[in-house]
Structure formats: structure tokens, C-alpha cells
Amino acid sequence: MSEDDIDQIAEAVIERVGDRGEAAVSVQSGTSDLTRFANSFIHQNVAERRVQVALEVAFDNRVASASIDRTDDDSLDRLVERTVHAARLHPADTDWPGLVGPTPVPESLNWDEAVANASPEDRAHRVAEFVAAGPGMLSAGFYDTEAYEVVYANSNEHHVRGRFTRTTLDGIQQTDSSAGKGHATSVRWADIDGAAVGRAAAELATMSRDPGTLEPGEYQVVLAPGCAATIMIFLAFYGFNAKAAIEGQSFFEEGVEQFDPAISLIDDGTDPRAIGLLFDNQGVPKQRNTLIDAGVSRSLSHDRRTAPKLDTTSTGNAVPGSASFGPVATDLFLEAGLVSQQDMIAATERGVLVTEFNYCRILDPKTQVVTGLTRNGTFLVENGRISRPVSNLRFTQSFVDALGPGNVLAVGGDDRFAQNEFGDGTTHVPSLHLASWNFTGNAQG
């Protein structure tokens, strides 16, 4: 579907609502393609060609929304009539902010034709590179691509459009007693090196053979980017979320040094490395928003619902569902340091190297106490070197305390997009060397 087609659909929906209420529509058209592999063989190729029309209508602050995946006239008629009728029946929404007016949005640069046009054969070639990098091992994982064009329009004469691509290779190499993980995400096809990702996974799998147990307790930790990514997205979702702060469920204290001076966290959808649109779910342009500045908590993520309550403006962080759970930063960049992960290990007298977290769950949003597991490569570090692999450990740890003043021993220079439990392409982070981490269980329980 062409950009002009998408524009026409959006305008047609707005015209159908007419003067019966305020209307905002988002039309998304694109492709999602996925190649899965297990036991070193590709076993699934899935392709989805998708068009979605999402409509929100407000009538005297009574708000309703609905979406469809058809664009014929009859379907658009039904979408509009159903949503208008539902809005008239809903109770008043006192937080309804109204619609944003005409606002310029920068031209999107987050597009790569090679990703948009990638074929199953193209993805299979990269998977083959990953598999070949682990001779004698079994490989499993996925390689996916997506390319979408999106138009947002409303009855307040605001009309913007953008497009983005993303591609991710994520997989493990397995021995008879261990596994190692590799991951890469980018806007651009050329940035993904299947062999390099496979070698990283194979090296971890080899190092992790025949793990032993480790007694629970407090340890220094070297956390690989995959772990740092989970920490940052939890801080963003539960802590720097303005709705959580307004409701007293966040740790956030503006202007207070709540973190170590080595920590600076920025949400910036305009960064050349960012993946995604340059406007949010309410049509507001994304911007650079410093959440943590050299350890000091500076700002929250806002949408147009939360901003008036704190006498500020939206930071462009509305996402689908944010009316319920609040605005979320989705373009997180943790500023890198200059220390290599190997130097972090060399500086550790006794500690644990963790390459990946798994199944992390928040226990207390306000203190950011989280419980989770390690997997795909956990190692005891003694006297500045990796002494042996250990079986997976459970931790229960406040992420805020772990990054508190004096607790960050080093920030790595190996920043990259790393996977977290909220999605790919949202967190660009380096390794971290932390003074203390609370492991509460091991393979024995």
C-alpha cells in the first residue's frame, strides 16, 4: 500500500466522523517476516502483510477506541459508527487531553530498503552463517525483519506520516551441557553479521560447559549489555513513567542524585541509531529527554494525559495502552564509558559475570525490587579471571540500589542494542560493573 493510499484512508475516516466528535486515526501498513530455526535447521518461515486502522473518538470527554484490519468502505463505515456510538455511551474521561494541533515532525531516516525487501532466502543465508559459527553445536533462534509505514491524522488538522524498518538476529549455540546467546538488532540489514553473532554465542556455550553450583549471596557483578538492557527498560517503565510518579508508585525525585555519577540515561527517538517512528501514539514529535544526568534524576516520560498534571508538555512517549499504564520511553540510550568487559573482569577479585537475565518480574515498583534468573552463560570470577561456569542463579535486587551512588564501578564501551523482556530495539546499552548484586538462590533451590 502506497503512502498516498494510507493518507487517503486516514482522511476518509476523519471525514466519516465529521462534526460528531473529536477523532484521531492511525493507519499502519507493512510487513513482518520471521525465520525460525532449531537443531541447526530452519523449520518455519512466516510472513504477515498487515494493514491496521485504529480510531479514537471523543464526545464531550467520553472516549472510545477501536481498530480493524480491513480498509474497504463498508468496514471503515462500521468502524466509525461503532466507535462513535461507543463514545456516546462511555462515562466522561477527566484525563482526556484533547487533540494535538498541527505540529511539524522531522522526516524519518529509520528506513532501509534491504530490510524492507529481504526474502526468506536472504534470512536463511544469515541463519546459515550463525549456525556455521558453532561447529559441532546445535543452534536455535530466529531472524526477523519488519517494515512499516504509518500515518497519524486527527480532526484538529494534524497529519503526519513516517516509516521504519527493524531487523533482529537472536539465537543460542548449544553443547550437551551448556548454551550461549548471541543477539543483534538494527534499522539496517548491513549491520547484522550472522557469523559474528554466532561466534559470540558459541564462545559463551564453550565457556559454559559443565557448570557447577555457587552459594547465594552478595557478589560484585559484571553485567553484559543484555542484562543492562533489562535494568534500563524496568527503570523506564516503572520509574520514569509520569503516571507512576503522579500515583506515588515511582522512586523518581527530580534533581536528586539517585544514581551513580557514571550513569546517564537518555530517551531520544531522534538519535540516528534509534529504531521506530519520530512521533508517538498521540501524534506528538519525539524528542531528546534526559532521564538521568550523571546520576541525577532529571525528567519523566510524559504523554498528553500526564503532562498537564505536572504543568509541563508531552515528551512524545504515548504508546498503545498508555492511557492505562502511562507513557513509556522506547528509545533508551545509556551513555557508554571506555572500559572493556575484559578489564571489568580483571578488576574483580571475586564476583559473577552474567550475560543474560530471564523471566524478570517486578516485586515493588517504587523501590524497583525485581526477581529474576540468569541464563545462557553465568561465570564465577576470581582474582581477575573467569575461574569456572556456574549454573543459573536467582536474584532479588533493587535496580535503583544496584546503580546507586558509589555502586557503579565501571561502564563499558561495548554499547549496542540488546534484547530485554519488553521488545527488541528499545535499549542501546553497554556492560556494567557493579559493586553488589543479591543472588538469592541457585540450582539447589
Q: What is the pLDDT of residue 443?
A: 65
Give CA–CA dist 109/272, Å, rounded. 8
The three cell numbers of residue 103 are 505540529
**pLDDT single digits (tens) 413-424:** 999 999 998 889
C-alpha cell at 411: 561502564
pLDDT in tens, the chain (445 residues): 788 899 999 999 999 999 999 999 999 999 999 999 999 999 999 999 999 999 999 999 999 999 999 999 999 999 999 999 999 999 999 999 999 999 999 888 899 999 999 999 999 999 999 999 999 999 999 999 999 999 999 999 999 999 999 999 999 999 999 999 999 999 999 999 999 999 999 999 999 999 999 999 999 999 999 999 999 999 999 999 999 999 999 999 999 999 999 999 999 999 999 999 999 999 999 999 999 999 999 999 999 999 999 999 999 999 999 999 999 999 999 999 999 999 999 999 999 999 999 999 999 999 999 999 999 999 999 999 999 999 999 999 999 999 999 999 999 999 999 999 888 999 999 999 999 999 999 866 6
Contacts of 105 (CB under 8 A, 6+ apart): 160, 162, 278, 279, 285
Looking at the chain, which residues constitute the CATH 3.30.2290.10 domain(s)?
3-204
Residue listed under C-alpha cell 534509534: 274
Q: pLDDT > 90: what percent of the chain?
A: 96
CA–CA distance, 30 with 148 (Å, rounded to integer):
4
Question: Domain 3-204 is classified in which CATH homologous superfamily?
Answer: PmbA/TldD superfamily (3.30.2290.10)
11 alpha-carbon distance from chain centroid: 31
Model pLDDT for residues 278-324, shown as the tens digit of each residue: 999 999 999 999 999 999 999 999 999 999 999 999 999 999 999 99
Edge-to-edge strand ranges of the sheet holding 62-68: 62-68, 41-59, 22-38, 138-154, 159-174, 179-186
Retrieve residue 48's grid coordinates.
Answer: 504477515
